[in-house]
Amino acid sequence: MLRAVDAVDNLRDDLNDTEDGGPPQLRTDLLKLHQLAMLVFNEGSRSKVADLFEFAVELENQVLGMMGSLEQVQETLSHLTELYPESLAWTDLDDAD
């Protein structure tokens, strides 16, 4: 369970609002990537092609790391829910009445 907590702590750096109340850096970076894509694909700015793809790879790696953290949380929860006793399933149905 504590590994799941550690995994969530890793995500906090990527998903928390900034200290001044601004949006998470990931959001800002995705908007920057969008701007680069607009320059390259809509305006034909060849000088920005390398920047676009280098930044895209950087963000992809960051998101893959975040996904790894979320998979750790999901795996921990899955191991726990697999232990759910069938006897409690009937109790849940009785509580719904």
Res. 95 pLDDT band, cuts 50 70 90: low
pLDDT tens across 54-78, in order?
A: 999 999 999 999 999 999 999 999 9
Note whether 7 and 72 are within 8 A (CB).
yes
pLDDT for 97 = 53
Q: Using the predicted structure, report yes or no on whether residue 87 has a pLDDT greater than 90.
A: no
Res. 21 pLDDT band, cuts 50 70 90: confident
Q: Give which of 40, 12, 44 is closest to 32, Cα–Cα.
A: 40
Query: Mean pLDDT highest for which of 8-12, 16-20, 22-26, 35-39?
Result: 35-39
